Amino acid sequence: MNKLFHIVTYGCQMNVHESEKIAGILSGLGYESCDDMESADIVVFNTCCIRENAENHAYGNIGMLKKLKAANKNMIIAVGGCLPQQMNKAENLHEKFPYVDIIFGTHNLSKLRDYIIEKQTRKKPIIRIDEREGEICENEKPLRTSYPNAWVNIMYGCNNFCSYCIVPYVRGRERSRKSENIIAEVRQLVSEGYREITLLGQNVNSYGNGTDDITFPELLSKICEIDGKFRIRFMTSHPKDFSEELAKAMSQSDKICHLLHLPVQSGSDRILRAMNRRYTSSDYLRKVDILKKYIPDCEITTDLIVGFPGETEEDFNATLDLVKRVDFSSAFTFVYSRREGTKAATMPDQIPEDVSKRRIMQLVDLVNAQTRAHSAKFVGKTTEILCEDYDEKRGLYLGRNEYGRMGYFKSECDERGNFVNLKINQANGVSLFGDKV
């Protein structure tokens, strides 16, 4: 009988890609993926602690496995990622869920294979949380699950220490991969038929800082020299480090999508200082102007936080004003989430829940209106999408254009992995509907 594994992933695309790496490790040990925890011989939780609800969700799902573990003592349960990397959280996890077999931190992922083998020969739980970042492991072979898209880490960690963010404490300082290894990985992916490559880092703009390697704009240019038809995306791009050189590099190749995710977080200079973002609203708007100078049709998406400690109505209105001026293509909007261990968690004037709720609803209404307007601009035009999947319920194929809009269409043949031109006849929110041309 085959050994089965199931991975539960929380958080962002970086975690999704890390789960692919975990799947690669498990596959190398002879396990095969399954769709449910009940059938699995090993269950791995790849956790996130950026927001409190993700952490609580993980706790809830880990708790649900108590009965499964009691019924199947040979099942291995592992909990990794950002949650156990936080101070004292690994010990708390062990106390609350003593049936968890392996607890490992963000700096220990590459050693998961050894932990599983060790666990098979011992009864006691294995808890491994390294405080210091290890060397970047270049021989990991992820089991990719997102064809025709592929994620490629170019760096790890963060040096920015935004006052609300736990990432530098659980991911460590910035470490960049060597450009030759990144380029070789992308070249291999393109040769295997992947058609969209997303470069990942907490702050891709600072790639190469402190090393003898190339800059991020230079890395993009070198990747664009790879033969073949494919797209390049990247995230996340910190506004303080966004440069004219990057805008130039983006404009010089049609392989780089005309879409930039540039998180502003707030439109208030006072709140930006409290967040330790190290730019002003005017700085941000200047960066937007530079981008539009080189790529007039470039769409911009962003992250926005409301209810940060001390945020006044004037501060919130400054955010609304900035959103109106930039006219974002879409935005991820959040109510401030208090994270133990960050500077913002100790700040006075925490905003009442009812005030934050009112503000987030007002902001969402504005962002949604902008999103609908941007989608409507595609109606009557032809846009190229990369077909990613087939929606069984709708009976339609789907894929994104370079601006991030999801397009739906009918086809008599399987178009997954193909670039398809669509004549758009309807727009609904972030979705477009059209016919092949």
Mean pLDDT of 224-252: 97
Mean pLDDT of 71-94: 93
pLDDT of 123: 86
Mean pLDDT for the chain overall: 95
For 366-386, what is each residue's pLDDT tens digit?
Answer: 999 999 999 999 999 999 999
| Those residues with Cβ within 8 angstroms of residue 59's Cβ, 6 or more apart along the chain or in another chain | 96
**56 pLDDT tier (thresholds 50, 70, 90):** confident
Q: In angstroms, rounded to a whole number, what is the distance separating the alpha carbons of residues 139 and 18?
A: 14
Res 126 pLDDT > 80: yes
Q: What tokens does 206 get? A: 């600072």
Res 210 pLDDT > 80: no
> Please, which residues bridge with residue 436 across strands?
422
Q: In angstroms, rounded to a whole number, what is the distance separating the alpha carbons of residues 47 and 85?
A: 10
Between 131 and 355, the more confident residue is 355
Res 106 pLDDT > 80: yes
Q: In angstroms, rounded to a whole number, what is the distance separating the alpha carbons of residues 410 and 396?
A: 5
Three-state SS at 400: strand
8-state DSSP, 377: T
Q: In angstroms, rounded to a whole number, what is the distance separating the alpha carbons of residues 432 and 379?
A: 8
- Angular region, 171: left φ>0, alpha ψ -120 to 50, beta rest: alpha
pLDDT of 120: 87
pLDDT of 121: 87
Q: In angstroms, rounded to a whole number, what is the distance separating the alpha carbons of residues 302 and 23?
A: 30
pLDDT of 248: 98
For 383-420, what is each residue's pLDDT tens digit?
Answer: 999 999 999 999 999 999 999 999 999 999 999 999 99
**11 pLDDT tier (thresholds 50, 70, 90):** confident
For 134-167, what is each residue's pLDDT tens digit?
Answer: 778 787 889 999 999 999 999 999 999 999 999 9
363, 319 contact by CB (below 8 A): yes
For the CA atoms of the chain, what is the radius of gyration?
Answer: 22
pLDDT of 20: 95
Alpha helices in 295-339 (DSSP H): 313-326
Whole-number Cα distances in Å, 348 to 29, 351, 395: 50, 9, 53
Q: Please provide the DSSP assignment of 72-96 as one string.
A: -TT-EEEEEEHHHHSTTHHHHHHHH
Res 300 pLDDT > 80: yes
Q: In angstroms, rounded to a whole number, what is the distance separating the alpha carbons of residues 14 and 201?
A: 8
Question: What's the one-letter identity of residue 245?
Answer: E
Mean pLDDT of 98-104: 96
**193 pLDDT tier (thresholds 50, 70, 90):** very high
Res 132 pLDDT > 90: no
